[in-house]
Amino acid sequence: MEEKVIEESKQGTSMVLETKKENQKKLFIESYGCQMNFADSEVVASILANEGYNTTQVLEEADLVLVNTCSIRDKAEVTVRKRLQMYNAVKRDINPKMKVGVLGCMAERLKEKFLDEEKIVDMVVGPDAYKDIPNLLREVEDGRDAINVILSREETYADISPVRLSSNGITAFVSITRGCDNMCTFCVVPFTRGRERSREPESIIEEIADLWSKGFKEVTLLGQNVDSYLWYGGGLKKDFEKASDMQKATSVDFAQLLDRCATQFPKMRFRFSTSNPQDMHLEVIEVMAKHHNICNYIHLPVQSGSTRILKEMNRQHTREEYITLVDNIYRIIPDITLSQDIIAGFPTETEEDHQDTLSLLEYVRYDFGFMFSYSERPGTLAARKMEDDIPEEVKKRRLQEIIEVQQRIALERTQRFVGQTVEVLVEKDSKRSDKQWSGRNSQSTVVVFPKENYKPGDFVLVKISDCTSGTLIGEAVGYSEIMN
């Protein structure tokens, strides 16, 4: 399991979708954590739309308030607790009929605390139990606490068409796997989201076709660990060895799925997240190299540059194996962008281990990354078996050194685009000016340029004249071939 990409700007976003006239009840749903949680909120909104709920952004008028939670970082839990206290103040003082529920990873982990000890919620729903929400709501209406945190071996929500929440109408996430089999010692996901299972390929293709028909131009295939996608008729990834010869012969792995998506939707752009180094096979890189519409970007979390610490983390690769993989990726796609997750100050980390991480940054030359100091997560193997023995000030210093190296390299990497012409999918107004468009190139770098007569959803060729460490600045020179 990877530390998923957590976009700070999206944390706590409340979701809004088209209202159905016949729906009388109001749902306020907020999401924290990784992209999987935001995608799950879309599944929940779809289920509740059929139960008579329209979304609202006005908390005080909501009949049902749901918060989709994350257990990856302590900060997320603290934030969610504060939000729950606020919901309950509104419930007490303004809207006593309001019901409050917790969804997702934190729900699974803190079920007794929320319901019995602190009595701050009416309903607790784990990541595999969203279809049970209508039943749980009936329990709540009858005055009972409602809980379902049972982890499923089968549930992939393949039969639910997610309602696109807070969507720009151009980019969307499509979940292809759920759960994780990698027992990284710092990570709680295998315990909160269960064992790894993949979604039926036809349902994925159907969802992408539906998005294409609605005008979407880019899809990110999403999973705790997308590279290990494996469909053989249903069932857990770990049980594949017990599959029949026919199931094995007709199975679909991630390279095949990616190839099929890019072939069937040649005018649509594809990304994927998150990748696990030990499951990233060269067939996937070769499929990426073959298709113009698969973006030249891989989020490839490493967590540490030290083989000793990687072993302590129960990562299934060494420093040397990771470097070999990176060398092969650059060989097959020289123009690729890689990004990282790194944890500073993992238990027992020495200065030598830390230097190994800094030297790995210099070697790989990531364009960007997500860097954190280690914080012990209850329920993880590390919390049970390892002492959090690195002093806070040492963690902070090491994290700062990692960030400084990464920022320097990021600027150098972004500068390589100056003078080039890049393909950009126009997504929205630039943050700085409504006279400029903002979008991303194939390598996931943000590009801004004057609007002229282009519009969101257009693939535009932009000649880059300048950059900051994270943004390219240029002028449009015409439409890309993908538009023809």
User: What CA–CA distance (Å, rounded) separates 288 from 278?
Assistant: 18
**Binding site, annotated residues for [4Fe-4S] cluster:** 34, 70, 105, 180, 184, 187
- Give the distance, in angstroms, between the CA of residue 154 and the centroid of all CA atoms in the same chain: 21
Q: Give me the phi and psi of 286, to 5 degrees please.
A: -65, -40
**Binding site, annotated residues:** 34, 70, 105, 180, 184, 187
Can you state the angle between helices 201-213 and 254-264, rounded to 10 degrees?
Answer: 30
Residue 446, both tokens: 């943000």
User: What CA–CA distance (Å, rounded) separates 186 from 467?
Assistant: 36
Distances (CA, A) of 417 to 334, 405, 409, 413, 459: 13, 20, 14, 8, 17
User: What CA–CA distance (Å, rounded) separates 344 from 326?
Assistant: 21
Per-residue 3-state assignment (H helix, E strand, C coil) for the chain: CCCCCCCHHHCCEECCCCCCCCCCEEEEEEECCCHHHHHHHHHHHHHHHCCCEEECCCHHHCCEEEEEECCCCHHHHHHHHHHHHHHHHHHHHCCCCCEEEEEEHHHHHCHHHHHHHCCCCCEEECCCCHHHHHHHHHHHHCCCCEEECCCCCCCCCCCCCCCCCCCCCCEEEEECEECCCCCCCCCCHHHHHCCCEECCHHHHHHHHHHHHHCCCCEEEEECCCHHHCEECCCCEHHHHHHCCHHHHHCCEEHHHHHHHHHHHCCCCEEEEECCCHHHCCHHHHHHHHHCCCECCEEECCCECCCHHHHHHCCCCCCHHHHHHHHHHHHHHCCCCEEEEEEEECCCCCCHHHHHHHHHHHHHHCCCEEEEEECCCCCCCHHHHHCCCCCCHHHHHHHHHHHHHHHHHHHHHHHHCCCCCEEEEEEEEECCCCCCEEEEECCCCCEEEEECCCCCCCCEEEEEEEEECCCEEEEEEEEECHHHC
